[in-house]
Chains A and B, each alone.
Chain A
Amino acid sequence: MIVPYFLEGFVVILGIVLLMTDAFSKIDKNIVAWTAVVWLGLIFAATFFLAPLPEAWADSGFYVLDSYSLFFKRFLLLATILTLILSIDYGSVFLRYVPSAAPQAGLGEFFTLPVFACAGLMWMVSSADFIMIFVSLELVTISFYVLVASMRNNLSSLEAGVKYLILGALSTGFLVYGITWVFGLTNQTSLLKLADVLPLVQEGYHSAVLFGLGLIIVALGFKIAAVPFQFWVPDVYQGAPTPITAYLSVASKAAGFVVLLRVLGPFLEVPFFRDKIIGIFTILAAVTLILGNLAALPQSNLKRLLAYSSVAHAGYLLVGVASITGSALAADAIAFYLGGYLVMTFLSFFVLVNVSKVMGGDDIVNFNGLARRSPILAGAMLLSMLSLAGMPFTIGFFGKFFIFQSAMESRQYLLVVIGFVTVACGFYYYLKVVRAMYWQPAPEGSSPIVVTVSGKLLIGILSFAIIFFGIFPQPILNLLR
């Protein structure tokens, strides 16, 4: 039996050991990455043998361990493992853009920083105190600043790094300022204790509390890429190294949503705040759905397309948030949706890495005739695109189904009607990729694309997960009980 908070400790120690190994020994960096993968896998296994949280921690009110946070700890470990595997594949591309004093220079940090980010993310999903949230969020964000800009000879990577840095700093500012307001009015930073204090706040101070909460929502809006805080997303996603893009869009978003739900929890107990919050999130969800989907329509670069699709998926998740009080299913629906999003996003990014390695670009045109050149990659891409679009018998469909069922249950009819249009839009832009792969002829003189055995294995596992959980979603729901 393992004390729960040791999990994060293990991950941090793993990161430090790997960083030291990378700095002081001359071993192949790929071994560093695989070591990280294996150890993260072991830590993942360890999540199934957890002792209950010690009394002192449970009472202190800054760290929680419920099935929801445990689910997301597993989720984040899995996402990190997949990111590292993707990064190993991406290594050759990465090295092209790094000034190299020594062979494999810069690769070590590229492989170890996601581990630190993972530790931060795992803290984040368990934190129940504004200070904890802030500290863990900074650990994550600073790791990402470095990762996004790590291809130093690539202008768009640097551009992405600067944009992410500036907007990240801005959102941090919002967060801290919002926390200050809430603390100033309630004298509490712990969310658990906030729940006791909030109903006692005098009516005259309600709007002040709401202002503080609003600032915090803005800050978290940046993390989950909700409109109107999404403008960094396309450039950063396009410029960042592809595995980091995947990591950013899955792990960072998921942790952002968990923190969002955690923060909203005590406020939703008070009727005054509840109505306002639900109203705010209805609007946020509506604009995020509309803008994310409409902006994705004309994209011709796949990474940019996936960036806007990530905004669009944030919109569906926000529909879940807006339904959180009216439906008991909503919280589970959000977690399930994110679980599905993890699998299908990583599958599509895996194909993207493999194709762009050969073609030298991320445009949809580069996928022309992929069905001829590599039926496996094309099939995997087809499956992930269909799942992202929400086709039945894929995990993405159940995600959308649960989300919209909770939306119907809590009578969010406006969002449902917007959903009619955006789901149809989604089919259009995801099928654009399918069209390129299956309708269009391959470019002249193109050769088949070879996938390694481990790559085929990964594709097989992810595809199986998409289909299996698309028919039997119950195992994932059980993890949330």
Chain B
Amino acid sequence: MSLLQNPLLYLILLPVVGAVLVMAGFDARRTSIAAAALNFLLSLYVACSTPLKAGFQWVSSVPVVPDLGLNFTLGADGLSVAMLVLATVVTLAAVCVARTPENHASWFYVSLLFISAGAIGAFASVDAFFFYMFHELALIPTFLLIGIWGSGNRQAAAWKITVYLAFGSFVLLIGIIGLYLSMPANSRTFDMGLIAEAARTGALTPSWIVYLLLFVGFGILVSLFPFHTWAPQAYASAPAPAAMLHAGVLKKFGLYGILRLVTPVFPAHIVEPLNNILLVLLVGNILYVGLVTIAQRKLDLMLGYSSVMHMGYIFLGILSWNSLGLTGAALMLVAHGLSIAALFALSGEIRERTGTLEFRDLGGLARVMPKFGLLFGFAAMASLGLPGFANFAGELMVFFGAFSSGHATLTSFFGFTNFQIATFVAVWGVVISAVYMLRAYRRVFFGPVPERWKSLPEITPVAKYCVIGLLLLLLIVGFYPQLLVNYVFQP
């Protein structure tokens, strides 16, 4: 397929064109919404017309450095299509709920659109090199969004996320180069499909160092414990749309990358010796970060930590290395993206109204704005994995997948494998999420109403419909997970 006829190219270019128009002086908000809406429709078209389980579709390739086998290759299979739809949905919601700031309004929307373009570009790339490049595109807009329009300790948060992620991406880049160099000299390529193919045929012989580099690189980007400290503070300080895009879409880049570049490539004899360490880390994600989440006194920080915590489940699914766990992880990618976006949108709305997200300053908001409370309740339930929402389906598959994984080797304990032990521990995470979510819900929405919040306005129609849209998607997938599983199934 020629590049110019490829809808994926236009998926990437639409936000960029929108950004250019905004910079050229068009009305920032309307142009951005139009670009995001068009992009959403286009992604739906792509989703409906992509044949499933047939490898990469819509492939078009332009050589960039032929000597190095470096091509700009677009393409999408079921998983990437699911991520693309997630990206465009969250972008549309984020741009819609955004409050136009007073200073540099056009830069605000330009930054949002660039984050979106970066994420979409990453998910639409088949070439590992451009996959990486597109992700980095989002780094500077995030820096500007948090630094200029953030709240709280925005400067520290902006520096931390930017330098930390720059470090992580560089580790990742070296990992990708390492993977590339593990192939025989005459057939080196960055094409993710060909890399997986080479691993199947045995032409690719990666070392465990490459595995570690990739896992640490991706791990930093996904806030794997103990590399998670950049995330909560950044999400707490970021303006709501930026937090939605980053936590909802961009952070999924790392996990998506693992599903593309790590799981299909590395053989068991490299993966297994390191499994125990990684299991400890992800249990750290679930238990340690979960307990830290309970201790939070601010809604935005709590949401930031909870999003870090949920990454633990997805990691567990990925590490299980079997079809059930991987599919569950992929399902959770989408589900978590939608639910955290809804939560950040709502917490941003609260901050707009009250100027504070401290639990001790809030209370009884459900009595003042009942619809708001209802929606927040739904989003909170979705996030903690109530049956009926997509998150539940994902978590269930992850737990089943993980429990059935692992060998009863010397590392086993009372006949249980390392994975079964990790699953025992991880299941308690569900309880922890219930504790912090319900506590937060009670502190913010129930109890006596402080005098100064008595006249808060009800949720705006735009925000209402955005959140309802996100929740509807979660419910649809929750009641009929097969719809999404068809797309994200990992053989």
Taking beta carbons and an 8 Å cutoff, which residues of A are in contact with B? 329, 371, 382, 386, 389, 391-393, 397, 401, 404-405, 408-409, 416, 419-421, 423-424, 427-428, 431, 434-435, 438-439, 471-474, 477
Contact = CB atoms under 8 A, between A and B. Distances in A.
A477 B147 contact: no
A397 B143 CA distance: 18
B140 A391 contact: yes
Q: Give me the 7 closest cross-chain CB pairs, A-B, nearest first.
A: A392-B133, A424-B167, A427-B166, A392-B136, A423-B170, A439-B147, A408-B177
A418 to B, nearest CB: 11
A392 B63 CA distance: 17
A473 B159 contact: no
B143 A404 contact: no
B173 interface: yes
A424 B132 contact: no
B457 interface: no
B181 A408 contact: yes
Q: Which of A397, A404, A416, A424 has most B Cβ within 10 Å?
A: A424
Given A391-B136, A438-B148, 11 more contacts: A392-B134, A392-B137, A393-B133, A397-B133, A405-B177, A408-B177, A423-B166, A423-B170, A435-B147, A439-B155, A471-B64
A432 to B, nearest CB: 9
Contacts of A474: 63-66
A43 B171 CA distance: 43
Main secondary structure of the interface of A (DSSP, over half): helix
Interface size class of B (residues with CB under 8 A): 35 or more
Contacts of A423: 166-167, 170
20 contacts: A382-B140, A391-B136, A391-B139, A392-B133, A393-B133, A393-B136, A397-B133, A401-B177, A408-B178, A416-B174, A419-B174, A420-B171, A420-B174, A424-B164, A424-B166, A428-B163, A439-B144, A471-B72, A473-B64, A474-B66
A474 B65 CA distance: 6
A428 B155 CA distance: 12
A401 B173 contact: yes
Contacts of A472: 64
Nearest to B159: A428
A427 B136 contact: no
B234 to A, nearest CB: 15
Main secondary structure of the interface of B (DSSP, over half): helix
B174 A434 contact: no
Contact of A404 (B137, B162, B174): B174
A192 B237 CA distance: 62
Contact of B137 (A393, A424, A438): A393
B360 interface: no
Contact of B174 (A386, A391, A393, A408): A408
B104 interface: yes
A393 B125 CA distance: 14
A409 B181 contact: yes
Contacts of B177: 401, 404-405, 408
A426 to B, nearest CB: 8
Contacts of B64: 471-474
A278 to B, nearest CB: 19
A421 B68 CA distance: 26
Nearest to B67: A477
Contact of A420 (B63, B133, B162, B170): B170
Contacts of A371: 104, 107
A435 B163 CA distance: 13
A434 B132 CA distance: 23
Q: Which of B155, B166, B171 has most A Cβ within 10 Å?
A: B166
Contacts of B66: 474
Contacts of A419: 170, 174
Contacts of B171: 420
Nearest to B133: A392
A380 to B, nearest CB: 14
Contacts of A393: 133, 136-137
Contact of B143 (A329, A421, A431): A431
A438 B147 contact: yes
Contacts of A420: 167, 170-171, 174
Contacts of B162: 427, 431
A91 B132 CA distance: 44
Interface string B138-180: 0110011001100000010001001110110011011001101
A329 B177 CA distance: 13
A269 B458 CA distance: 78
A471 B133 CA distance: 10
Given A391-B136, A397-B133, A424 B163 contact: yes
Given A386-B140, A391-B136, A424 B170 contact: yes
A434 B64 CA distance: 30
Contacts of A408: 174, 177-178, 181
Interface string B406-429: 000000000000000000000000
Interface string B288-316: 00000000000000000000000000000
A438 B139 contact: no
Interface string B49-73: 0000000000000011111100010
A424 B140 CA distance: 13
A421 B167 contact: yes
Contacts of A404: 173-174, 177
B213 to A, nearest CB: 9
